[in-house]
Structure 1
């Protein structure tokens, strides 16, 4: 297994630790540990893609698992933020629904021998969601309180745009039959 794929797997392994520190009362620094884990996990997303392209190690496993690892990390974080009453549940439902739709598209395409890599809209959407989560977990106060709200809606809008773009570019998947 190559380094980019190992980083993708590491991101998935980090999720339970992130959730535990965010939701459980383990230490007096839980929020900061959770924030550090989330930032580190988010960084692996950038690093694995960079290494895969730089070293010509792009694999079908990476094309499939990298976006899935992102979805797992971001979904876990947003569900925790709903639990902590930091983000409206309807926003999270819209965002996670998009992820299920895209995953369904990928499964149908995969069954037909097609691997669909993440689009630029999807990547920008993921970055906006990660920034939103960092701001919400950090709860930095002041002007950042307004930025938290702005990023919730930026992430939501980019989620919808990326869904529309994804469906438009991959509409042939809808026509595929068993």
Structure 2
């Protein structure tokens, strides 16, 4: 008899599915099929322009990011933590964040180098974790990695919404947090390498 997938794992799968919708709204060529996605200009201290596709994608991203918090909370509270859940959660997080970064780079929202750095970091860290797992060792998440993830989620959310409300005053908060996340990515990668270099011996 097959075991039913528990609620946290279902939420993780939902996060992956939501990522597909985000990619669709960010990259689909609506204009080529005659569908106009309007842009809105919000006037306060200075006018800020934001496209409908970014509003929709941003809302979906917030929901997806919330499922990341929710699945972990439920798993811990009701003792539903499984190896499958840990694996799916890590995959879903990377699929969500890296997919958005690729879309942002393709749409000239961020520099492609940022996307490359983040994906490179994730590849290195995943390689270390996989090698450790092959030897029966579990590598726990580290603080710098958690800070990187939190900062990246905040930066991406702000970028979806044109850095509002800070853009009204010309304060590039989204960029600052994004670069901070990149720095934390490199720091956490270095920390993973130094602490676990023995797994390749």
Pair in the same fold by TM > 0.5: yes
Q: 1:35 deviation in Å?
A: 0.4
Partner SS state of residue 17, structure 1? helix
- Partner of 1:42 in structure 2? 65
Larger CA deviation: 100-109 vs 21-30:
21-30
- Partner of 1:88 in structure 2? 111
Gaps of 5+ in 2: 39-51
Q: 1:109 deviation in Å?
A: 2.1
Q: 1:42 deviation in Å?
A: 0.7
Out of 16, 21, 29, the position equivalent to 2:20 is 16
- Partner of 2:94 in structure 1? 71
Larger CA deviation: 34-43 vs 57-66:
57-66
Out of 133, 136, 143, the position equivalent to 1:120 is 143
Q: Where do residues 1-178 of structure 1 align in structure 2 (5 Å cutoff)?
A: 1-24=5-28, 25=30, 27-28=37-38, 29-139=52-162, 140=164, 141-143=167-169, 145-175=171-201
In proportion to residue count, which structure has more helix? 1
CA distance in 1, matches of 2:190, 2:76: 26
Q: 1:145 deviation in Å?
A: 4.9
Partner SS state of residue 170, structure 1? helix
Q: 1:108 deviation in Å?
A: 1.5
CA distance in 2, matches of 1:52, 1:108: 26
Partner SS state of residue 85, structure 1? coil
CA distance in 2, matches of 1:160, 1:78: 16
CA distance in 1, matches of 2:130, 2:115: 22
Is the 8 Å Cα contact of residues 75 and 96 (structure 1) preserved in structure 2?
yes
Encode CA deviations 1:49-88: one digit per residue, 9 max, x unaligned: 1111111111111222212211111100000000111111
Aligned residues: 175
Q: 1:111 deviation in Å?
A: 2.2
Distance of aligned partners of 1:69 and 1:44 in 2 relative to their CA distance in 1, 3 Å threshold? same
Partner SS state of residue 118, structure 1? coil
Q: 1:152 deviation in Å?
A: 1.8
Give me the TM-score of the superposition, normalised by structure 2: 0.80
